[in-house]
Amino acid sequence: MPMQPELLLGCLSNGDLRLDASDALGYPCVNIVKTWSDRLEVYNGADGDQPKEQVYLFDIPISLEILQKNVYAEYWIESIPKPILNSCLELPSIQLFVLHCVANSRDAADLLLSNPALCYLWAWVNYSYLQSRPGEIDTLLDQLHAKQLNILRQIAPRAPKAAVKLLKRLDVASIDPFRRNALLTILQDATLVLKLSHQQALCFPSLLIADRYSWAVNQRVFGILIRLQRQELRLLDDAIAMSDGRAIQALARCETWPEVVACHDRWAREWNRGRLFEEMLLRDDRGIAIAFPPPPVEPTSDICWLATPDEVMQEGRNLRHCISSYVTKVQRGEYAVYHLREPYNVTIGLRRSALGWQLDQIRGVCNRSPTTEEHSIVDEWLRAKGLSLVFDN
């Protein structure tokens, strides 16, 4: 999110808001924002506080929360109907843009109050487009004079009718504005939307979990999964990977987190016996296991690189965890496994991402989390190599 320049706020005698960013920007920049009764029209290039050129509210670099807390904006804020103001304050971003839309369209206002998540999603999809073509906003707002399903299909063409009700139950404040495409994809998955129709209250993270583990929706384990962190979900993914999907039936019956862990551990023990491991290895035309690529980070006297599938398998056996389930990723050059020697005795996993190689996990015996000292040793090693320390333990 771009930094907001410091603004000097004032209130004109007629209640209009005066925003002066001249000192912060180094050149004259004054905006006059009309009150709600004047549809929050905005003018810049003010000369003696007389409006000259009309601009758009969503170009003003200030948040609605800041305006609400400023004494000079009190009259201006009070001109906005309370239900509209409160609904806009719940939105995770582009609050002023949505406020501008509802001030200029009764249909937008009705949509905000009846289905705020749909209103926000529609506005967010059109926000970037209108920044370069602000004059087309009235044409787009006219498209809101339609049933909610038709509005949704403007931005998600294959959305089923049930997706409208799903959005009504969705906590709009929980939506991640940077993952709107993921939400649009979910809304067009008719099977998943139907499964979620039985969920009374929904938040955006729970939709992502439902999309990732659709088999868990409406199972007791679903309530467990939506509360897990990334490292905990890793155990679930590893159990499914090690079992080639056969663990799903048992996982769906789990009612507590310890039961999920126990299911994972059963498959880890089976995996480390070797048969499943051998079946998963990538092999060449002669049936020989494909060798690992060179290590992405040079090892040290304390941190050794596990260079073969057998070494990775033995690491999983010795530390009683499932690092060996990553062996095919290592063969494909997507992952690398290291070992921090005694007295620490932990496994280090690095993953390749769009940003390069990053720290993915540090695990001791039976998936023990690293100590502060162990973490510091790994951090120092990676920092010396200029690697990104993305890690969520």
DSSP string, 114-159: H-HHHHHHHHHHHHHHHHH-GGGHHHHHHTTSS-HHHHHHHH-TT-
With pLDDT > 70 as the criterion, what percentage of the chain qualifies? 92
Amino acid at 275: R
Which residues contact residue 106 at a Cβ distance below 8 angstroms, ignoring those fewer than 6 apart?
A: none
Domain limit, last residue, from 250, 272, 294: 272
Torsions phi, psi of 50, nearest 5?
Answer: -100, 120
Evaluate whether 94 touches 177 at the Cβ level (below 8 Å): yes
* pLDDT (tens digit per residue) in 243-291: 878 889 999 999 899 999 898 888 887 777 766 677 778 888 888 888 9
CA 375-379-382 angle, to 5 degrees, is 140
**Tens of pLDDT, residues 14-60:** 888 888 877 777 777 788 888 898 888 888 765 555 556 777 666 66
- Among residues 252, 272, 292, the one where a domain terminates is 272
Residue 3 pLDDT exceeds 50: no
359 token code pair: 């720290």
pTM above 0.85, yes or no: no
Other Cβ atoms within 10 Å of 311 Cβ, number: 16
Which pLDDT value is given to residue 105? 95
Instruction: Count the neighbouring beta carbons within 10 Å of the beta carbon of residue 216.
Output: 22
* Residue 338 near residue 350 (C-beta atoms within 8 A): yes
* Residue 66, in any domain of the structure: no
- What stretches of 36-134 show up as alpha helix (H) in DSSP? 64-69, 74-78, 82-89, 95-104, 106-114, 116-132
Query: Which of the pair, 210 or 274, is modelled with greater confidence?
Result: 210
Mean pLDDT of the chain: 85
What tokens were used for 63?
């948040």
Q: What is the DSSP letter of 297?
A: S
Residue-level pLDDT at 350: 93
Beta-ladder partners of 289: 283
Residue 209 belongs to a domain: no
Q: How many residues are present in the chain?
A: 393
The residues with which 363 forms a beta bridge, in sequence order, are 347
370 within a domain of the structure (yes/no):
yes
Question: Do 350 and 296 meet the contact criterion of CB atoms below 8 Å apart?
Answer: yes
Average pLDDT, integer, range 199-227: 88
- 335 contacts 297 by C-beta, under 8 angstroms: no
The model's pLDDT over 69-93, given as tens digits with 9 standing for 90+, comes to 888 888 889 999 999 999 999 999 8
Domain that holds residue 371: 303-384
Task: Report if residue 360 sits inside a domain.
Answer: yes
Q: Are residues 374 and 324 in the same domain?
A: yes
In a domain, 354, yes or no: yes
Q: Tens of pLDDT along 134-178?
A: 788 889 999 999 999 999 999 999 999 999 999 999 999 999 988
CA proximity to 211, closest of 224, 193, 229, 199? 193
Beta bridge partners of 42: 33, 55
Residue 1, pLDDT > 50, answer no
Q: What is the mean pLDDT of residues 59-71?
A: 80
pLDDT confidence of residue 165: 94
312 and 379 belong to one structural domain: yes
Element (H, E) at 363: strand 356-363
Helix 148-155 to helix 106-114 angle (10° resolution) is 90
Q: Where are the beta strands (DSSP E) in 164-212?
A: none
Q: How many structural domains are present in the chain? A: 2
Same-domain check for residues 307 and 379: yes
Residue 187 has pLDDT above 70, yes or no: yes
pLDDT at 57: 66
Q: C-alpha angle 185/124/32, rounded to 5°? A: 180
Q: Decide if 355 is inside a domain.
A: yes
Q: Kindly report, residue by residue over 314-326, the tens digit of the pLDDT.
A: 888 888 787 888 8
Is residue 38 included in any domain, yes or no?
no
What is the band of 393 on the pLDDT scale with cuts at 50, 70, 90? very low
For range 93-98, the mean pLDDT: 90
- Residue 6 above 90 pLDDT? no
Flag whether 351 is in a domain.
yes
- pLDDT for position 325: 82
Instruction: Tell me which of 47 and 67 has the higher pLDDT.
Output: 67
